[in-house]
């Protein structure tokens, strides 16, 4: 085993394409980070294979702030301690305990299933988008359950584009601070497994193909096309990596990250 860095920060996104929340600890399960992307909005104008309304269609989505109504229930599986001691599978809380309230850009606080929230979302988009709420027991991620991105890659892209680079543009679950100086070192982890913290093991399966989401400022939604252009031209359109959880466990800010030989 070789320690190659540490966890800089942990993030989850309770509602797909809305603002994320930083966590001190996060449970990494087979289906992803606990509480990640449990809700999304389906658009009638989106492709069947990717039915979601995202910030690609409505940039103000990034300014909506979702929060779990019962934070303690959303922090970790309900029987985690007992499950780990018995070697059993941990259980998710009931859906009623994983409800979300959303603060809109205008300052209103609305339940995730309040029709007024859909009205607010539709106010800034083409009316061809008929929206319905989606909810899932597992993360509605674009690809694999867990995404990883290094601080060094963000710094390299800042140097390459001459643009200040907020790591949050890349909407990763785990941001890592690697021991190497250069960016995109996480590419070398593809096909290998990482132990993050004392228990969790993530198999890194592929590089992360990027879209216009990374051009959007995470606070304002303003576009900076040069970022995606540089990723496309210099990095094959990829930035960061995707993985699947092989061994479930709780991650903490500052945890060591090891490559398993």
CA distance 77 to 60: 31
CATH of 2-260, one of 3.30.420.10, 1.10.3720.10, 2.40.33.20, 3.40.50.300: 2.40.33.20
CB 202 within 8 A of CB 46: no
What region does 171 belong to: left with phi over 0, alpha with psi -120 to 50, or beta?
A: left
CA distance 6 to 258: 8
Give the residue among 201, 159, 188 at the shortest CA–CA distance from 28.
Answer: 201
Summarised one tens digit per residue, pLDDT across range 63-95 is 999 999 999 999 999 988 888 888 888 888 898
CB 155 within 8 A of CB 164: no
What is the reported pLDDT for 247?
95
Summarised one tens digit per residue, pLDDT across range 176-203 is 999 998 999 999 999 999 999 999 999 9
Summarised one tens digit per residue, pLDDT across range 113-168 is 999 999 999 887 877 889 999 999 889 998 899 999 999 999 999 999 999 999 99
Across the chain, mean pLDDT equals 94
Q: Output the CA angle 94-97-99, nearest 5 degrees.
A: 115
What is the reported pLDDT for 16?
97
Structure tokens at 211: 């879209």
- Residue 215's contacts (CB-CB under 8 Å, 6 or more residues apart) are 169, 223, 224, 225, 227, 228
Summarised one tens digit per residue, pLDDT across range 207-223 is 999 999 999 999 999 99
Domain ranges of the chain: 2-260
């Amino acid at each position: 085993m070789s320690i190659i860095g540490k966890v800089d920060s942990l993030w989850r996104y309770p509602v797909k394409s809305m603002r994320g929340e930083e966590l001190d600890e996060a449970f990494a399960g087979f289906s992803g980070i606990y509480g990640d992307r449990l809700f999304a909005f389906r658009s009638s104008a989106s492709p069947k294979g990717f039915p979601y309304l995202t910030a690609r269609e409505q940039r103000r989505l990034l300014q909506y702030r979702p929060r779990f109504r019962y934070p303690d229930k959303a922090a970790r599986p309900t029987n985690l301690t007992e499950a780990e001691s018995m070697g059993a599978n941990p259980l998710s809380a009931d859906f009623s305990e994983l409800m979300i309230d959303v603060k809109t850009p205008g300052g209103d606080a609305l339940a995730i299933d309040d029709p007024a929230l859909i009205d607010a979302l539709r106010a800034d988009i083409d009316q061809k988008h008929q929206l319905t709420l989606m909810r899932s027991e597992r993360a509605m991620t674009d690809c694999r359950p867990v995404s990883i991105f290094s601080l060094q890659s963000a710094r390299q892209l800042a140097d390459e584009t001459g643009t200040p680079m907020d790591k949050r543009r890349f909407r990763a679950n785990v941001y890592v601070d690697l021991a190497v100086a250069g960016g995109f070192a996480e590419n070398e982890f593809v096909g290998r497994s990482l132990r993050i913290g004392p228990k969790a093991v993530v198999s890194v399966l592929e590089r992360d193909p990027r879209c216009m989401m990374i051009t959007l400022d995470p606070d304002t939604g303003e576009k900076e096309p040069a970022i995606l252009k540089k990723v496309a031209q210099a990095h094959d359109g990829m930035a960061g990596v995707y993985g699947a959880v092989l061994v479930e466990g709780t991650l903490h800010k500052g945890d060591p990250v090891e490559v398993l030989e």
